[in-house]
A and B are shown apart, each in its own frame.
Chain A
């Protein structure tokens, strides 16, 4: 049986397209629960920041607790699914941890940082990760990353004293809405 170069190229392109869609499906399925978890945690964190005045003076204790719960939750979600797509889950979790570690390094370098700057920096760093992930893994993350970044910047400049509540809605709410949308797609 012979196959001409055009047919071969078309077949390879079909295979690449199927592979891309499979990877997208795996990542989307993996990310839905994590996004909802982080959305709830981040939303709660910003509400606490808004309600407790000491947090506006640079005390970040509740955020440390939220980060620990978030990563423990992500790890458990990864473990629960690990039989199905182990390598992808490990890579996503490792990428999250590397991003977090670099976030801390950057903050140390630019310290002192105001709570407002901090409130804008973390979401934009995470959303940078989303957009880059979206470039390689699936467009949903690009849309989600750009939308949350734009809303974060809008809040940073124009939300005034309501910035923390604004972030609870756009960052926490954005992640939850994204996670629910991914779940529906799945």
Chain B
């Protein structure tokens, strides 16, 4: 029969071991959270990449129909995003739940409100506003969830600003190719990372 004092000694951990164990748990938690949000983010990124590309191509080819096209694209995009969030893997759905949907809807509502409040901007500025608002949301999310979103948001904002200043009348096509394209590439990259994980 073993000595009870020996048993008690074996069960204790010193402060350094405890701190190290807690750090390991925090790292594992962080990686799990990243993996869950990356898994759901992949489809959503590709969806919005395609939506952007289609919207900007229509804007370039048929400016009078641009407003209608963007209204339809945004409604479909929001609905599809919420659907992907709720119908994703069970583990993701639990995390996605109401919080991510509410955050997304709030950002859209804030964008619409700001556009109404500050009004009087040209189409080119409004385009850039929505791009920076969406990608700003990605950057803030990236601070808390995982660096990929910071990188993706920063790249798309930089490309959008470059197009705004230097692409002249090609701005819609620039946004379709580089803005939409970056989102699609980001989504594909996340999917690959998810598949490897």
Contacts and interface: CB of A to CB of B under 8 A. Distances in A.
Contacts of B170: none
A136 B99 contact: yes
Contact of B136 (A91, A102, A107, A135): A102
A99 B126 CA distance: 18
B121 interface: yes
A33 interface: no
Closest 8 CB pairs of A and B: A110-B118, A102-B136, A109-B125, A128-B110, A135-B99, A109-B129, A110-B121, A132-B103
A162 to B, nearest CB: 19
A140 interface: no
B76 interface: no
A110 to B, nearest CB: 4
B114 A121 contact: yes
Contacts of A161: none
Contact of B117 (A94, A109, A121): A121
A89 B45 CA distance: 29
B115 to A, nearest CB: 8
Given A110-B120, A128-B110, A99 B140 contact: yes
B140 A120 contact: no
Interface of B: 99, 102-103, 106-107, 110, 113-114, 117-121, 125-126, 128-129, 132-133, 136, 139-140, 143-144
15 contacts: A94-B143, A95-B144, A106-B133, A109-B132, A110-B118, A113-B118, A117-B118, A121-B114, A121-B117, A121-B118, A124-B114, A128-B106, A135-B99, A135-B106, A136-B99
Given A109-B128, A109-B132, A124-B110, 10 more contacts: A95-B140, A95-B143, A106-B129, A109-B125, A110-B118, A117-B118, A120-B117, A121-B118, A124-B113, A131-B106
A95 B137 CA distance: 10
Nearest to B125: A109
Interface of B is mostly: helix
Contacts of B106: 128, 131-132, 135
Nearest to B161: A105
A125 B133 CA distance: 11
Contacts of A110: 114, 118-121, 125, 129
Nearest to A110: B118
A1 interface: no
Nearest to A90: B143
How large, as a class, is the contact surface on chain A?
A: 20 to 34
B113 A102 contact: no
Given A109-B125, A110-B129, A121-B118, A98 B99 contact: no
Nearest to A131: B106
Interface string A113-153: 10001001100110010011001100000000000000000
A102 B110 CA distance: 13
A109 B125 CA distance: 6
A56 B132 CA distance: 29
A19 B99 CA distance: 17
B129 A135 contact: no
Contacts of A121: 114, 117-118
B8 to A, nearest CB: 18
Contact of A117 (B117, B125, B128): B117
A109 B118 CA distance: 9
A137 to B, nearest CB: 9
